[in-house]
Chains A and B, each alone.
Chain A
Amino acid sequence: MNRSKRDDLDILVERVLRDLVSDQAPPDRVWASIRLELQEGRRSQTKFELLRLLGTEIVALGADIVAGVGIMLTPSVCSCEEGWTERLVLAGHSSPALLHCIHH
């Protein structure tokens, strides 16, 4: 096959391929589906994120409660720890509410 024949073939293939699909375009529903899916994905991601945060808070609160109960039930080794509130303060749980309990 000589050079000109090969060039003719190239042109033919290019022409046929382009003619087959030249005026073809995707319908509008394709973008509508993409947009919808992305928005739904975003919504479910937000819900998942909220649930994850809620779960984290619940776990943290549960851990605090367990730690607090543990401290309260531990026998006192220090005479200055007269009540459970003081023990909690000494253990680092010095929230304003606890301080209020201690001083009033």
Chain B
Amino acid sequence: MLDDGELVPRIQEGDLDAFEILYHKYKDQLYRTALAITRDRGASEEILQDCFLRAHAHIDRVDGCSSLRPWLHRIIVNLSYNWAAKRRLRLISLEDVYDRVVMGPRSSPERAFEREELIQVLDAAIRCLSMPQRVVVVLFYLQGFSLAEIAHVLDCPVGTVKSRLHNARKALRKRLICDSRVSSEAAYELLSL
């Protein structure tokens, strides 16, 4: 796999094949980021498409010395923000994904049900986070960005990222503790999967 430093000059010269390599390199993680934020497959596809069209339009601004990952994530996050603003955060549940997550091979029906409850509670809690908090949670937990990298992606101070993450954790914890459906056994079972 070619690194970004080799691809960028080729793309800047109009090489569409090089751009396709770049697309295939980042498409999955960018799509998953958009999906985790929007919870809408159709919207995530459109956002991914817009993301790469914008990246292509502004590729001249890139020096090609560093990875394009943070820059592409900045675009996808901004587009996700725009989408959420237009839709006023009306989110669609991914019930079908739960089925795959909760049905482990060793699980009894009761355990599977409890795990499903826990996942649903946590997913609902994540969806209840404010958009800035959810974006930080997705970038931190799903994409494994450091706090400094998230600050770079979001173009804000590291302190702001820390604060958003802290508040998000607090809200998630509160929601989990308050929800009577979640038992400690279910949490343990999920963690031991």
B 48-63 to A, binary, CB cutoff 8 A, 1 in contact else 0: 1100110010000000
Total chain A interface residues with beta-carbon distance under 8 A:
33
A9 in contact with B126 (CB, 8 Å) = no
Stretch from B23-31, B65-73, B105-113, B147-155 at the A interface? B23-31
Kindly identify, within residues 135 to 169 of chain B, every residue whose CB is under 8 Å from any CB belonging to chain A. 137-138, 141-142, 169
Q: Which residues of A contact B41 (CB under 8 A)?
A: 24
Kindly identify, within residues 1 to 28 of chain A, every residue whose CB is under 8 Å from any CB belonging to chain B. 1, 5-6, 8-27
- How far is B119's CA from A5's CA once the two chains are assembled, in angstroms? 17
Shortest beta-carbon distance from B124 to chain A in Å: 10
Cβ contact of B27, chosen from A5, A9, A19, A25, cutoff 8 A: A25
A31 in contact with B123 (CB, 8 Å) = no
Cβ contact of B48, chosen from A8, A12, A26, A39, cutoff 8 A: A26
B172 in contact with A13 (CB, 8 Å) = yes
Q: Which residues of B contact A (CB under 8 A)?
A: 14, 16, 19-20, 23-24, 27-28, 31-32, 35-36, 41, 44-45, 48-49, 52-53, 56, 94, 97, 100-101, 118-119, 122-123, 126, 137-138, 141-142, 169, 172-173, 176, 187, 190-191, 193
Q: Which residues of A contact B31 (CB under 8 A)?
A: 24-26
5 more contacts with CB within 8 A, not counting A8-B191, A19-B97, are: A11-B191, A24-B41, A31-B20, A34-B23, A34-B56
Q: Which residues of A contact B49 (CB under 8 A)?
A: 30, 33-34, 37
B56 in contact with A12 (CB, 8 Å) = no
Shortest Cβ distance from A21 into B: residue: B32
A34 in contact with B119 (CB, 8 Å) = no
Which of B44, B141, B193: most chain A CB closer than 10 A? B141
A 26-70 to B, binary, CB cutoff 8 A, 1 in contact else 0: 110111011101110010000000000000000000000000000
B126 in contact with A16 (CB, 8 Å) = yes
Shortest beta-carbon distance from B63 to chain A in Å: 22
Cβ contact of A9, chosen from B19, B36, B101, B176, cutoff 8 A: B176
B142 in contact with A21 (CB, 8 Å) = yes
A38 in contact with B172 (CB, 8 Å) = no
The answer to whether residues A16 and B191 also contact, given A37-B53, A38-B16 and a CB cut-off of 8 A, is no
- How far is B137's CA from A44's CA once the two chains are assembled, in angstroms? 41
- 23 pairs, CB–CB < 8 Å, chain A vs chain B: A6-B169, A8-B187, A9-B176, A12-B118, A13-B126, A13-B141, A16-B101, A17-B36, A17-B138, A17-B142, A20-B101, A22-B32, A24-B31, A26-B28, A26-B44, A26-B45, A26-B48, A31-B20, A31-B23, A31-B24, A34-B49, A34-B52, A35-B16
The answer to whether residues A10 and B45 also contact, given A16-B126, A24-B35, A26-B31 and a CB cut-off of 8 A, is no
